[in-house]
Structure formats: structure tokens, C-alpha cells
Amino acid sequence: MLMPLSPSWADLYIIANKDLPVAQLDKDDIAAIYLLKKKHWENGEDIMPINLPAKADARTHFTAEIFDSTPEKLGSYWDKMLFKGETPPVTQNSEQAVVLFVERIKGAIGYVETKPQSPQIKILQQFSSK
């Protein structure tokens, strides 16, 4: 008997700069940030969400975990937002680039599947593999 294929992902880490005055975020907070409905941290600092490319496995994992959707479906949301003058989150080409960006920019938030080892990074949320 054949079993249907289901995604098998690594853990997913939502990361931020260690100096950010937030210890943890839930899915609703993360979704609001990535839909640009929440644009400032509690201290008033701008939030800068970072994405990976649409074809990256970690982005597919992130979009499924946070939005119960696909990057393609979320793309139609951004098409509408661009029409209203909103720019989508910045995209970095690799998980390493996301970590480096988040290390250097205090208000940045990103996601990776490889647990960051940098002392400049804090993990705001971890979603375990399915």
C-alpha cells in the first residue's frame, strides 16, 4: 500500500538580534509581522522581516507552519499589497545571509532551519519537525 507523501522538514527557528527586547513570539505575532500588520517592536523600533527565496525549502516550511499556505498563494497577497504601496519583506539568498543580516540589524527577524550558533542571535520561537 502506498502512503501519501507529506512534507518532512527540519526544525524551524524564528530568530532575531540578541539585543531585541522580546523573548518569544507566537504564530499570530509572526504572521502579523510578515504580513506587515505589525511594523514596530514594543520599544518603537522598526521591525524588518527577512524572507528566503520563494523556492527555498525553509520558506515553504515557514509559510506552511505560520500561514498554513504556500509561498505561491502568499504571493497573491503581496501582489495586492504592492498595488497599495506596501513592499514585501526583504529577501536574502541563503540561511547564512539571513543570520548575518539579523546579527547586524537590531530590528530584523528571520527564519532558518539550521539552529544558529551565533551569540548575536536569539531564538524567538522553534517549531519542531513534523
In tens, the pLDDT along 86-112 reads 889 999 999 999 999 999 999 999 999
| Dihedral angle over CA of 33, 35, 36, 40, nearest 10 | -10
Q: Give domain status of residue 44, yes or no.
A: yes
The answer to whether residue 101 sits within a structural domain is yes
On whether residue 6 sits in a domain, the answer given is no
Q: How many domains is the chain partitioned into structurally?
A: 1
Residue 65 counted as domain residue: yes
- Residue 7 domain-assigned (yes or no): no
The mean of the pLDDT values for the chain is: 90
Grid cell of 113 as nine digits:
532551519
| pLDDT score of 3 more than 80 | no
Do 36 and 86 form a contact (C-beta atoms < 8 A)?
yes
104 within some domain: yes
**Alpha-carbon gap, residue 50 to 42, rounded angstroms:** 19
More confident residue, 3 or 113: 113
The CA-atom distances, in angstroms, between 82 and each of 35, 54, 75, 76, 108 are 12, 17, 10, 10, 21
Give the residue numbers spanning the domain of 78: 12-127
What percent of the chain shows pLDDT beyond 70? Answer: 92
Check pLDDT > 80 for residue 4: no
CATH number for the domain spanning 119: value is 3.40.190.10
Nearest to 110 by CA among 24, 40, 13: 13
For position 130, what pLDDT does the model report?
58
